[in-house]
């Protein structure tokens, strides 16, 4: 039980990597607030978790770009569970287009959700983490937070930014016993990267050139989030933690 007695807030927890993280955290003894805009999917996940672990999950409506949403989410979670010991800034969106075809509204929306949303999370939850006596913040970068890619201008800018924000927050919050790290997933099987009409063979062809020759399951990323959230990573702060199947090891095989 790596998270026994801890209270965690997982943004974007309704589906994908966030949902896998919420399930794993509860299995490891945490009480988890699933914070998302997708009320229906989040409520279904809460019902699933509660059936096996009564009192362990709570849905909190949250648009990560709204400071007032963040403030009321923290109030609701503290009232139900007490101070927050783990914040997972997982919510994110992607828009793919060449820079010349990318309108400024779309660029701003990606930055607002991924980067400003993470900033607001750190800012609004830190007082609660202090009330908990310290804790861990896990931010979500991406392999596109370490290298560029055609069509990924907005997404890569947001994910590079998250790594800078993570390091600055680690320096500021370390003295208060709050660790801040970034997880760097590679291609992971979720709705975010689903392409209409693609078969498994299409995905295998796309990812087969990388060392592990496949996409990750969301649980494989969630296990890294668990490590960073728990005391197992007690001397880790300000770092980037790759779960990328070797994507960043070097050039793909021919
Ligand atoms: N899937 C991948 O290949 C991959 C790779 C690298 C990094 N990531 C990162 O992992 C994180 C999770 O991605 P995923 O693949 O599970 O995606 P997903 O699309 O399956 O889930 C994202 C969740 O975030 C929520 N969300 C989006 N905007 C929100 C907002 N404004 N407020 C609150 N919630 C919001 C969505 O409702 C959804 O539940 C993201 O930060 C993503 O950038 C994913």
**Is residue 173 a contact partner of residue 204, using CB atoms and an 8 Å limit?**
no
Higher pLDDT, 35 or 253: 35
**Is residue 145 a contact partner of residue 167, using CB atoms and an 8 Å limit?**
no
Question: Has residue 250 been placed in a domain?
Answer: no
If one residue of 13, 17, 145, 147 were mutated to test the ligand 1 pocket, choosing by the most ligand atoms within 8 A of its CB, it would be: 17
Question: Has residue 246 been placed in a domain?
Answer: no
Alpha carbon 83 to its chain centroid, in Å, reads: 20
- Measure 14 CA to ligand 1 centroid, in angstroms: 9
Q: What integer pLDDT is reported at residue 205 of this predicted model?
A: 86
pTM score, whole prediction: 0.98
Question: Has residue 56 been placed in a domain?
Answer: yes
Question: Has residue 123 been placed in a domain?
Answer: yes
User: Is 90 exceeded by the pLDDT of residue 136?
Assistant: yes
Write the CA distances from 232 to 81, 134, 161, 226, 229, integer angstroms.
23, 15, 26, 9, 8
**Other CB atoms within 10 Å distance of the CB of residue 136:** 27
Question: Has residue 52 been placed in a domain?
Answer: yes
Which of 218, 197, 206, 192 has its CA nearest to residue 95? Answer: 192
* Segment 145-155, tens digit of pLDDT: 999 999 999 99
At 254, the pLDDT band (50, 70, 90 cuts) reads: confident
| Percentage of residues in the chain having pLDDT higher than 70 | 100
The protein residue with its alpha carbon nearest to ligand 1, atom 1, reads 188
At 241, the pLDDT band (50, 70, 90 cuts) reads: very high
Mean pLDDT over the full length of the chain:
97
Question: Has residue 253 been placed in a domain?
Answer: no
Question: Has residue 248 been placed in a domain?
Answer: no
| Percentage of residues in the chain having pLDDT higher than 90 | 92
If one residue of 9, 12, 24 were mutated to test the ligand 1 pocket, choosing by the most ligand atoms within 8 A of its CB, it would be: 12
Q: Which atom of ligand 1 is nearest to the CA of 155?
A: 43
* Segment 35-47, tens digit of pLDDT: 999 999 999 999 9
Q: What integer pLDDT is reported at residue 201 of this predicted model?
A: 86
Q: What integer pLDDT is reported at residue 252 of this predicted model?
A: 85
- Measure 133 CA to ligand 1 centroid, in angstroms: 29
Say how many domains are in the chain: 1
Q: Which atom of ligand 1 is nearest to the CA of 144?
A: 6
- Measure 235 CA to ligand 1 centroid, in angstroms: 27
Question: Has residue 247 been placed in a domain?
Answer: no
User: The domain containing residue 90 runs over which residues?
Assistant: 7-240
Q: Which atom of ligand 1 is nearest to the CA of 65?
A: 31
* Segment 150-184, tens digit of pLDDT: 999 999 999 999 999 999 999 999 999 999 999 99
Active site residues: 155
Q: Could you tell me the CATH number of the domain that includes residue 155?
A: 3.40.50.720
The protein residue with its alpha carbon nearest to ligand 1, atom 23, reads 12
- Measure 175 CA to ligand 1 centroid, in angstroms: 30
């Amino acid at each position: 039980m790596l998270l026994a007695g801890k209270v965690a807030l997982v943004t974007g927890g309704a589906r994908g990597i966030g949902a896998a993280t919420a399930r794993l955290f509860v299995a490891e003894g945490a009480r988890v607030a699933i914070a998302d805009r997708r009320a229906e999917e989040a409520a279904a996940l809460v019902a699933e978790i509660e059936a096996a672990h009564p009192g362990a999950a709570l849905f909190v409506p949250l648009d990560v770009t709204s400071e007032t949403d963040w403030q009321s989410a923290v109030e609701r979670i503290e009232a139900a569970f007490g101070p927050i010991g783990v914040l997972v800034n997982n919510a994110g969106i992607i828009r793919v287009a060449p820079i010349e075809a990318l309108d400024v509204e779309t660029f701003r929306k990606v930055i607002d959700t991924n980067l400003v949303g993470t900033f607001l999370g750190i800012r609004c939850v830190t007082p609660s983490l202090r009330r908990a006596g310290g804790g861990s913040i896990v931010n979500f970068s991406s392999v596109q937070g370490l290298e560029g890619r055609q069509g990924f201008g907005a997404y890569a800018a947001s994910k590079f930014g998250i790594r800078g924000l993570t390091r600055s927050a680690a320096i500021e919050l370390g003295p208060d016993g709050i660790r801040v790290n970034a997880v760097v997933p590679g291609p992971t099987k979720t709705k975010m990267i689903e392409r209409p009409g693609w078969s498994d063979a299409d995905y295998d062809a796309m990812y087969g050139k990388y060392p592990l020759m496949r996409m990750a399951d969301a649980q494989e990323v969630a296990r890294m989030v668990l490590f960073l959230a728990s005391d197992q990573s007690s001397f880790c702060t300000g770092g980037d933690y790759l779960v990328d199947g070797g994507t960043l090891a070097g050039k793909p095989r021919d």
